[in-house]
Structure 1
Amino acid sequence: MIEHIVLLKFSPKTTEKHKEELIRRTLLLKDVIPGIVDIQQGANFSNRSQGYEMGLTIRFEDKTSLVNYGPHPAHQEVFSYLKEIGLEDSIIVDFEI
């Protein structure tokens, strides 16, 4: 299995409603993209986050599923929305478990 971890930092113009909608859209990906075992996403509450406001983890069946996830149209729609609402930066880590 593959664990995909994403940390997100938003611009000041990004509202809480935007973030809630992002979470809603992201969680739906499990039902449309093959190879996703689980998705979790939520707002950060730690003061050790260096400004990253949201975390996302996706567990994939294998590396092929992760590779296919990137260009999948449903993922691209969520990523476009993320940029539209004011993504400033992200950190991504992938590892095998």
Structure 2
Amino acid sequence: MIEHIVLFKFKDETTNEQKEEGMKRLRHLKLELPGILDIQSNHNFSDRSKGYEMGLTVRFTDKAALENYGPSDQHQAVVSYLKSIGMVDTLAVDFEISEEK
């Protein structure tokens, strides 16, 4: 399995309602793209976030599913929306989940 983590930073003018809509669109990708096992997104509440206001985690079946996700039309439509509402930066980390025995 692959874990994909993204942090988002927005302009001050971006409203919570706009961010909520962005998270809704991100979570909906589970219904649109193959290989997504779980997807979560919400507002940050930590004071250690260095200005990143929203987080996303996506768990994929494998690397091929992750590689399909990024350039897909559905994902790119959400990215376009996030940019249109004032997304100014993202930080992403991807790693393989090992099953310890």
TM-score normalized by structure 2? 0.94
Residue in structure 2 matched with residue 51 of structure 1 by the alignment: 51
Q: Determine helix, strand or coil for the equivalent of 2:88.
A: strand
Encode CA deviations 1:29-88: one digit per residue, 9 max, x unaligned.
000100000000000000010110001000000000000001111101100001000011
Structure 2: distance between partners of 1:43 and 1:11: 15
Structure 1: distance between partners of 2:63 and 2:84: 28
Confirm or deny that 1:29 pairs with 2:22: no
Residue in structure 1 matched with residue 19 of structure 2 by the alignment: 19
Which amino acid is the alignment partner of residue 84 of structure 2? E
Q: Determine helix, strand or coil for the equivalent of 1:23.
A: helix
Confirm or deny that 1:96 pairs with 2:92: no
Runs ≥4 in structure 1, deviation > 3 angstroms? none
Structure 2: distance between partners of 1:49 and 1:30: 26
Residue in structure 2 matched with residue 82 of structure 1 by the alignment: 82
Which amino acid is the alignment partner of residue 82 of structure 2? L
Q: Determine helix, strand or coil for the equivalent of 2:27.
A: helix
Q: Determine helix, strand or coil for the equivalent of 1:21.
A: helix
Which amino acid is the alignment partner of residue 80 of structure 1? S
Structure 1: distance between partners of 2:48 and 2:79: 25
Q: How many percent identity over aligned positions?
A: 61
The runs of 5 or more residues in structure 2 that have no matched partner are: none
The runs of 5 or more residues in structure 1 that have no matched partner are: none
TM-score normalized by structure 1? 0.98
